[in-house]
Chain A
């Protein structure tokens, strides 16, 4: 059974449909990237998993239980870092870390000390005097210092500097090695590429793509720049699988569907290739295509 399972889940806020028949799953022990444009429903999905919101229809299962009905018991086994961490003005960071740990059912003090050092966090400051990144670190230390099976992280690094971002990656890699399941919503593609076994892409409340990065890449296009022996025939621009072709005499620049790469290559070699570069799509290109509503 998967750690997280959402089947045809719909959630409305008045007239807006935040989640529209959303189906996704996260296997035990995997680090799952959760990507999508602003307002696409990532935080809403995570809040449903936390039992803070109630689905209008569909089934939500997490760690083998029903997050709405059994929230407190399930929550012993998970930790959550919100995208916008709100600390109490009168409590210090250290107090918040301890309080959240205790409310979760216990905190590992050695690990707490290690994490504080690792993230270079001063625990004696009062809530409102922390910067955005440091507030986020407080929530991260609190989440990571508890011994839990599942981490729900909603854009946990949006305020971290590159140094801390690197620490975060190292810590999460360690968590994966220890067998934790992580659902990581993020807008930082390199982070997702670095950490995630699988990713799901959400758009307008629906999962539009889900799989390993290799699988997702497979579904995409390769950019090809070729120098031919003869002038490039115009017909090539409208060949199946060829997109955005630009022809300048002997030179061809275009995007080719991976499935059509073989036939296109044969046609090119028939014309005589002098030089060719083919680059796999970058993640940016890949995601931009999914993010773009009109695509």
Chain B
């Protein structure tokens, strides 16, 4: 048995297991890049749209490699393979091969798409190539993280926190203009693509940075894997408490314990986002005065607001409210995961009723995103209200955010309905939020017809303060959400619970 035994077989297996994952990410990113670029074409040079895109690509890299290595190992699947004719590093290498292929496909598609929408060829190649290489770098980061910890969840968190750190580094460097701090940007992998200056006298040599980093990380991951036992992480698992704390006494105690990491992570992320966007809001007006096209886009996104700041808030909130729906659906998805992993069977064999088990996850999935949405609304307006000395704006913007909350609850309701009656169709709720996100994000910028952009659960909801408050719309949307949840709960009490 040599070092590559079973590689072809495993690459095929990894490709089969991850094809939908990578396909969805690559297609979504390929659609978004030229769409955004086309919309902002004359205004901003396309490289400025990079931050979001590189970040998303980074997320794809981390999640992609962890799901095909550590997650498989944790589920005991790799053990089965290892016992067959498969060399030690082959599962990791197979995951990397498939991930790198996906990054390469993304790079090629993005470059071609940009050329098709009329961008210069050299810049487009630098853009696509940079994107692919940044994706590969995060593939490497994820691969290293997967060696360090024994759980896929922790490996994901580790990779994504590294990404967040890189993002913050770039934000700091960006904010500091010139000088020593600006050079910090060179240490941030999400910045490398932009540092290659696509469309602006390309510096091709910069692309050697992510290429070298990827190589180092991959070699590092393989070396780390050689030094650990199968199934274990390099970091010894910490010991915990011998008895359960008082809070861990019922379904809601357990649900909170399972969700709290995700809730805290999202809260920090959304708060930072709101602070950053809020600080942008005051200088926004001046910025737009100079660029009329961008002003038109924001007015369109902001539902035709007269005042630019209002338009800005409306545009931000309509995106954030959909992002909160993503959070809601993802939090509720934990219930399905609990069932698939056999945990639901265990707790339902106790005096816990299905209604309370459902309720414990539903409460968190409904309350946390709504609360966070209101907080983001308030924080978004902080800077503006300080500069004009009118604090009522804070409450108003929080209210405007809350008026959009029922849309996310409808998306959550769809998730509950599906879980109650046909848990295998769990993806349906994701299609709804994915579509809504796309529409909120680029739909208006692309000037798509309004009936299409409004074909989401948010259709009827008022965009305060540009539109007036419409209680009927809010209450009707809320009622739809409640009905969906109730129908889902009925189904959940009637169907079989699957175990392991």
CB of B166, distance to nearest CB on chain A (Å): 26
Question: In this assembly, does B150 line the interface, its C-beta being within 8 Å of a C-beta of chain A?
Answer: yes
Query: Beyond A94-B243, A94-B244, A102-B244, is A86–B238 a contact (Cβ under 8 Å)?
Result: no
Which one of B9-17, B246-254, B387-395, B410-418 contacts A?
Answer: B246-254
Report chain B residues within 8 Å CB of A47: 345, 497, 499
User: B351 touches which one: A76, A85, A152 (CB < 8 A)?
Assistant: A76
Please choose the segment from A124-132, A181-189, A209-217, A262-270 that sits at the chain B interface, where 4 or more of its residues have CB less than 8 A away. Answer: A124-132
> Which of the four size classes fits the interface of chain A?
35 or more
Closest to B347 in A: A103
Number of A-B contacts (CB under 8 A): 125
Among B213-241, those with CB < 8 Å from A are: 237-241
List the A side residues contacting B347 at CB < 8 Å.
Answer: 100, 103
- Knowing A47-B499, A72-B351, A103-B350 are in contact, say whether A125-B239 is a contact too (CB < 8 A): yes
Contact (Cβ within 8 A) B351 A128: no
CB under 8 Å from chain B, chain A span 52-68:
52-54
Q: Which parts of B134-187 form the interface with A (CB within 8 Å)? A: 150-151, 153
A84 at the interface (CB under 8 A from B): yes
CA distance in complex: A60, B101 (Å): 54
Q: B residues within 8 A CB of A43?
A: 499
Task: Tell yes or no: A281 within 8 A of B by CB.
Answer: no
A105: chain B residues at CB < 8 Å are 350-351
Q: Is the CB of B250 within 8 A of A95?
A: no
Q: Please tell me if B342 contacts chain A, counting CB pairs below 8 Å.
A: yes
A129 close to B351 (CB less than 8 A): no
**CB <8 Å contact, B342 and A100:** no
**In the complex, are the beta carbons of A52 and B343 less than 8 A apart?**
no
A52-B345 in contact (CB<8A): yes
Q: Does B346 sit at the interface, judged by CB under 8 A?
A: yes
Name the contact of A50 in the complex, choosing from B248, B341, B343, B349 (C-beta under 8 A): B349
A82 lies within 8 A of B151 (CB): no
Contact of B343 among A72, A88, A125 (CB under 8 A): A88
Say if the beta carbon of A247 comes within 8 Å of chain B: no
Given the complex of chains A and B, what is the CA–CA distance between A54 and B242 in angstroms? 37
A159 at the interface (CB under 8 A from B): no
Chain A residues in 8 Å Cβ range of B248:
91, 95, 98-99, 102
Report whether A129 and B237 are in contact in the complex, using a CB–CB cutoff of 8 Å. yes
The number of chain B residues with a CB under 8 A from chain A is 40
Neighbouring A residues of B497 by C-beta, 8 Å = 47, 52-53
B243's partner among A73, A82, A95 (CB-CB below 8 A) is: A95
In angstroms, Cα B45 to Cα A9, docked, is: 70
A90 partner residues in chain B, CB cutoff 8 A: 257-258
Q: How far is the CA of A82 from the CA of B150 in the complex (A)?
A: 24
B contact patch SS: loop
A31 to chain B, nearest CB (A): 19
What's the nearest-Cβ distance from chain B to residue A68, in Å? 10
Q: Does A133 contact B (CB under 8 A)?
A: no
B30 to A: closest C-beta gap in Å: 35
Cβ of B496 under 8 Å from chain A: yes
With both beta carbons as reference points, the residue of chain A lying nearest to B354 in the complex is identified as A71
Q: How far is the CB of A144 from chain B (nearest CB, A)?
A: 14
Cβ < 8 Å to B, chain A residues 79-118: 79-80, 82, 84-86, 88-92, 94-100, 102-105
B244–A73 contact, CB under 8 A? no
Q: How far is the CA of A99 from the CA of B253 in the complex (A)?
A: 9
Neighbour of B346 across the interface among A76, A86, A123, CB < 8 A: A86
Contact of B242 among A80, A103, A124 (CB under 8 A): A124
Instruction: Report the nearest B residue to A52, measured CB to CB.
Output: B497
Residues of B close to A85: CB separation below 8 A:
342, 346
Q: How far is the CB of A173 from chain B (nearest CB, A)?
A: 24
Tell whether B1 is near chain A: CB-to-CB under 8 Å. no
Contact A52 B237 (CB under 8 A): no
A268–chain B nearest beta-carbon distance, Å: 53
B352 interface residue per 8 A CB criterion: yes
B-chain residues with CB within 8 Å of residue A91 when the two chains form the complex? 240, 248, 257
Chain B residues with Cβ below 8 Å from A169 are none
Residue of A nearest to B343 (CB): A86
- Which A residues fall within an 8 A CB radius of B? 43, 47, 50-54, 71-73, 75-76, 78-80, 82, 84-86, 88-92, 94-100, 102-105, 123-126, 128-129, 139, 152
A-B contacts besides A52-B345, A72-B353, 12 pairs, CB < 8 Å: A50-B348, A51-B348, A52-B496, A71-B354, A75-B350, A82-B499, A84-B500, A86-B345, A90-B257, A99-B254, A125-B239, A125-B240
Name the 4 nearest CB pairs between A and B, nearest first. Answer: A98-B244, A86-B342, A92-B240, A103-B350
Could you jot down 20 A-B contacts, CB within 8 Å? A50-B348, A52-B345, A72-B351, A84-B342, A89-B153, A91-B240, A92-B239, A94-B240, A94-B243, A94-B244, A96-B244, A99-B244, A99-B248, A100-B347, A102-B244, A103-B350, A103-B351, A104-B350, A126-B238, A128-B74
